[in-house]
Homo-oligomer: A and B are copies of this chain.
Amino acid sequence: MPKGILVKILTRNRNKFEEAKLVLNEYGIDAIQVPVQVCEIQSENLFEIAIFRLKCALKHIPPPIATEDSGLFIDALNGFPGPFSSYVFKTIGCDGVLRLMQGMVNRDAHFESVVAFADRDLKVHLFHGVVNGVISEIARGSYGFGFDPIFCPKEKPQLTFAEMTREEKNKISHRSRAFRKLAEFLSASET
């Protein structure tokens, strides 16, 4: 296990940070939260958003640093809310999305996460995580954040993400999958 690696994670979302840190810790990697706002590009491509934000951050914060961007993509809504999930959550919330899904037979959806990481040499590395599932009929659970109460992952279709502890969610979530790839990359780089 690599010793003494410390990754700065650029996010103002404490929940996101805690999920990411928990994964990195499994690999003996430490993380600190850098809760600053940097510019974000308006794009429908999570990779583009993550890279742009990372490059903005690097103007102010020395590497190694990681940013993460994620979204909930609902098939029947043409991918909505996608990269704009956090704005959509803040405005219409889980209730709004459930209203849009009322009577929809196809409830397939996936969460996607892109971690952009800049190493000490300012080289950018990208890590992608996906979890497939369905939109529940009603919001359930109190763990997690964002659209967690209305998403049931394929691996545990009877539960929403918000009915799982952080540890349970981290076994299968899009975010944990992307950060696990980062952790494996860092572990391999340091050996």
Residues of A whose CB lies within 8 Å of any CB of B are 39-44, 49, 52, 77-84, 87-88, 90-92, 96, 99-100, 102
Contacts and interface: CB of A to CB of B under 8 A. Distances in A.
Nearest to A79: B91
Contacts of A39: 41, 52
A82 B42 CA distance: 13
Nearest to A91: B80
Given A78-B91, A82-B87, 14 more contacts: A39-B52, A40-B42, A40-B43, A41-B42, A42-B42, A42-B43, A42-B49, A44-B87, A77-B91, A77-B92, A79-B91, A80-B92, A84-B84, A84-B88
A84 B80 CA distance: 11
Contact of A96 (B41, B80, B82): B80
A40 to B, nearest CB: 4
A33 to B, nearest CB: 21
Contacts of A83: 42
